Amino acid sequence: MDDYIKEIRERIGSRPFILAGSAVVVLNRKDEILLQRRADTGKWGIPGGAMEPGESLEETARRELYEETGLRAVELQFLDLLSGKEYYFQYPNGDEIYNCIALYGVKDWEGTPRINDDESLELGFFPMDNLPALEGNPKRIVDNLAGYGLFPEIRQLSMADNMTAAKVLEMQRSAYRVEAELIGTDEIPPLKETFDQLQSCGETFIGFFEQGELAGALSYEQSGGVVDIHRLIVDPRHFRKGIARKLLERLEKGVSDVEEFIVSTGADNQPAVTLYKKHGFKPAGETIVGGGIRLAHFTKPKRA
């Protein structure tokens, strides 16, 4: 590709021309973004580069990602096609271009980030609230990332909405079937809950959305200074992504006038027991309920 661009430059000098290419937004499990400090400008940006003759935009994205970071995309998500006068760029040597950029997102990738060619000086994952200084196109792209649904979203759910309630009920049954296997019985009340019962339960629900899909939910009731967590469910397809932890953290930040959080789970549901203990909940005894199920109770004081 360098020869192709070099040939064009020999013909037109530094005059602007339209350059098609791809850029890739890479996120890790912490939703941190991978940035590179480019050798040609010394500034931070997003991995990507120019299309080669005969190449598709997706092929460009995959090739540039590997060449610049050593990562191989398992699945690319097309996000946007970026063009216009705001994507004009002038290199330090005076060469001018108007970029036409196919923007892709990738969360599923293989490999370890490494400088794989002479185009990068540094590579690193950065949290979105602590990015290095960005300018021009990279800043414009990063500033608009929230609109592409790449990042998880937690928001309140209404059980009065039939579609929402149906999704929660389906996810609840899938999640509690896993718990039923762990504790050795399917006599778990949430497995038997009906659609009408869910809609009339009176609990407040918050949901975790991954790329627009409901992936987890938490419900609670607040009485005086006590918040009682009734259910914390995660779609089995989204296990081990930290969703339950993030829902608990959002609950703690989102409620006020709280003295104590309480929650119960099957005593033999070791993943749930471990989660609550890691999140600062303390054991508060056990009880036996219908079907001989042992429930473990936990409590956690509200942090000042």
Domain spans in the chain, listed from the N-terminal domain onward: 2-148, 153-301
pLDDT confidence of residue 129: 87
Average pLDDT, the chain: 92
| CA 125 to mean position of chain CA atoms | 14
* pLDDT recorded at residue 133: 94
| CATH code for the part of the protein at 153-301 | 3.40.630.30
For 275-299, what is each residue's pLDDT tens digit?
A: 999 999 999 999 998 778 889 999 9
304: pLDDT strictly greater than 60: no
Backbone angles phi and psi of 198, in degrees to 5: -65, -45
With cut-offs at 50, 70 and 90, classify the pLDDT of residue 157.
very high
Closest residue by Cα to residue 40 from 105, 101, 97: 97
Question: Span 214-227, mean pLDDT?
Answer: 96
Sequence letter at residue 127: P
Instruction: Check whether 90 has a pLDDT greater than 80.
Output: yes
Per-residue pLDDT band for 120 (boundaries 50, 70, 90) equals confident
Confidence check: pLDDT of 215 > 80: yes
pLDDT, position 2:
67
Instruction: Specify whether the CB–CB gap between 91 and 40 falls below 8 A.
Output: yes
| C-beta of residue 178 within 8 angstroms of C-beta of residue 191 | no
CATH number of 2-148: 3.90.79.10
Return the biggest CA–CA distance within the chain: 83
Residues 105-128 have a mean pLDDT of: 91
pLDDT at site 272: 93
Q: Are the C-beta atoms of residues 109 and 31 closer than 8 Å to each other?
A: no
- Mean pLDDT for the stretch of residues 216-227: 96
Q: At what angle do helices 162-183 and 270-278 cross, to 10 degrees?
A: 110
pLDDT band at residue 303 under the 50/70/90 scheme:
low
Per-residue pLDDT of 37-75, as tens digits, reads 988 889 999 999 999 999 999 999 999 999 999 999 999
List the helix and strand counts (H, then E) for the chain.
Answer: 8, 15
